[in-house]
Homo-oligomer: A and B are copies of this chain.
Amino acid sequence: MTQLKNDTFLRALLRQPVDYTPVWMMRQAGRYLPEYRATRARAGSFMDLCMNPELACEVTLQPLERFPLDAAILFSDILTIPDAMGLGLYFAEGEGPHFEHPVRSAADVERIAVPDPEDGLRYVMDAVSLIRRELNGRVPLIGFSGSPWTLATYMVEGGSTKNYAFTKGMMYDRPELLHSLLAKVADSVTVYLNAQIARGAQAVMIFDTWGGALTPAKYLEFSLAYMQRVVSGLTREAEGRQVPVVLFTKNGGQWLDRMAETGCDALGVDWTTDLSAARLAVKDKVALQGNLDPCVLYASPERIREEVATVLASYGHGHGHVFNLGHGITPDVNPEHAGAMVAAVHELSPAYHQGV
C-alpha cells in the first residue's frame, strides 16, 4: 500500500503528538454537496449508490476535493448488515428505511446467520479497496458500522421508530431473546469491521445512534456490553500501524466514563456535553472526537469561527482531540460554511499543540 502522507488523524486518535487538531465531518459525503446530489441522481436510489463501489468511491472522495479534511470515511449505510442477513431492506419514497422481515420471535432470531462480508457484503469491501487505491495515501480511510443495539432496533422494529415499542418490549419482556439477537449482530459487526480493515480501513468507528434512548442500566447491558464484545474482537493492527477504534453513542454524555473502559481508543462526543467535562470524565484514557453543534453551520462564517474556537478551548491544551461535528452535517448547510469550519480548525488549533 502507498505511504500515508497525512497521518495526523490516526495519531490524534492514539493521543500521540500532532501539530494541529485534525478535522473531518460526520456525513461529509452527503446531500449538502451538489456534486453528491448529482452522483446520487445518476445512481438511482440511495441503496443503489451504496451498492455501487465506483460511485461510493466517487462520493467518498468528493468532500476531500473541496476541503482539506484529515480523513475520508467510507460512504455506506449502517443497514448493510441486516440487509445481508436477508431482512429485505427497502426505502419507501420520502420515508426512512424499512425491512420486509422484522425480527421478533425466537424463530426469527434462530434463522439469522452472521453474514460473510466477502460474500453478501462484497460491494462494501470492493468500495473500501477502491477508495484506498484512489485516496493514494492522501489521508486515512475510516471504516464503520452501526452498533449492535442500534442495528437491532431497526431489525426488530422493521425500520425507523420513535418509541422502540417492539425492541424495548422485547428488552423488558424477553431479555434473553434480545441478548441472543445482539450476540449475533455483534459477531456480524466484528467480522464486518475486520473485513473492512483487511481491505484497507485504517480506523473504524461504531455508531450507536440509539443507545441514548436507554436507561443507564439497560445501556450498559444491551448496548455497551455488545460494543465491548466488538472492540475485543477487532484486528488492532494492519500494515504495520495500529488501527484506532472510535465509539460514539449519541446522547451518551453521561456514560463516557464507562465507554472509555471498553478498550477503544477514542470516543465521539455530541454537543450536549462540553469537551472539558468529557475529558475529565474519561481521565485522558481515550481521545475525544467532536463536538461542534451541526447547527452552528447555519450561522455566518465569522460566527462559525468563534464557535470553533470555543470547542478547541473546551478541549484545551494537549493532544488527543479530533475535531468534528457532534452529529452528521445537515443537508441544507451551505458547503462554504463547512469549509469555513475546516479552515478555522486548521488555523486556530496549532496553538493548543505547542509546548505540550
Asked whether, in the complex, the Cβ of B272 is within 8 Å of the Cβ of A172, the reply is no
CB proximity of A87 to chain B, nearest CB, Å:
22
Asked whether, in the complex, the Cβ of B173 is within 8 Å of the Cβ of A215, the reply is no
Complex Cα gap A272–B271 (Å):
17
A7 CB-CB contact with B under 8 Å = no
Complex Cα gap A285–B138 (Å):
55
A223-234 interface bits toward B, Cβ cutoff 8 Å, 1 = contact, 0 = none: 000000000000
A163-B295, A172-B296, A172-B298 are known contacts; what are 15 more A-B pairs with Cβ within 8 Å? A164-B295, A165-B295, A168-B295, A169-B298, A171-B295, A173-B300, A173-B303, A216-B272, A216-B273, A216-B274, A217-B274, A218-B293, A251-B272, A253-B254, A254-B273
A212 CB-CB contact with B under 8 Å = yes
Number of copies: 2
Asked whether, in the complex, the Cβ of B214 is within 8 Å of the Cβ of A272, the reply is yes
User: Which of B165, B277, B293 contacts A168 (CB under 8 A)?
Assistant: B293
CB proximity of A328 to chain B, nearest CB, Å:
10
CB proximity of A281 to chain B, nearest CB, Å:
11
* Chain B CB within 10 Å, residue with most, of A173, A274, A332: A173
Q: A165-B332, A273-B254 are in contact. Are A172 and B215 (CB under 8 A)?
A: no
* Chain B CB within 10 Å, residue with most, of A218, A273, A293, A330: A293
Complex Cα gap A299–B168 (Å):
8
User: Which of B169, B171, B295 contacts A172 (CB under 8 A)?
Assistant: B295
Asked whether, in the complex, the Cβ of A299 is within 8 Å of the Cβ of B169, the reply is yes
Decide if the interface of chain A is mainly helix, strand, loop or mixed. helix
List A residues 268-287 near B (Cβ within 8 Å). 271-274, 277
A294 CB-CB contact with B under 8 Å = yes
Complex Cα gap A168–B332 (Å):
13
Asked whether, in the complex, the Cβ of B216 is within 8 Å of the Cβ of A299, the reply is no
A83 CB-CB contact with B under 8 Å = no
CB proximity of A321 to chain B, nearest CB, Å:
17
A116 CB-CB contact with B under 8 Å = no
Complex Cα gap A168–B294 (Å):
10
CB proximity of A104 to chain B, nearest CB, Å:
13
A113-156 interface bits toward B, Cβ cutoff 8 Å, 1 = contact, 0 = none: 00000000000000000000000000000000000000000000
A307 CB-CB contact with B under 8 Å = yes
Please name all residues of chain B whose beta carbon is closer than 8 Å to the beta carbon of A164 when the two chains form the complex.
Answer: 295
Top 10 nearest A-B pairs (CB, nearest first) are: A172-B299, A168-B295, A169-B298, A173-B299, A215-B271, A172-B303, A163-B330, A216-B274, A165-B298, A172-B296
Q: What are 20 A-B pairs with beta-carbon distances under 8 A?
A: A165-B332, A168-B293, A168-B295, A169-B295, A169-B298, A169-B299, A171-B295, A172-B298, A172-B303, A172-B307, A173-B298, A173-B299, A173-B300, A173-B303, A212-B251, A216-B277, A217-B274, A251-B272, A254-B273, A254-B277
Please name all residues of chain B whose beta carbon is closer than 8 Å to the beta carbon of A168 when the two chains form the complex.
Answer: 293, 295-296, 298
Complex Cα gap A271–B254 (Å):
12
Complex Cα gap A294–B165 (Å):
10
Complex Cα gap A172–B171 (Å):
40
CB proximity of A140 to chain B, nearest CB, Å:
28
Complex Cα gap A293–B300 (Å):
40
Please name all residues of chain B whose beta carbon is closer than 8 Å to the beta carbon of A295 when the two chains form the complex.
Answer: 163-165, 168-169, 171-172
Closest to A307 in B: B172
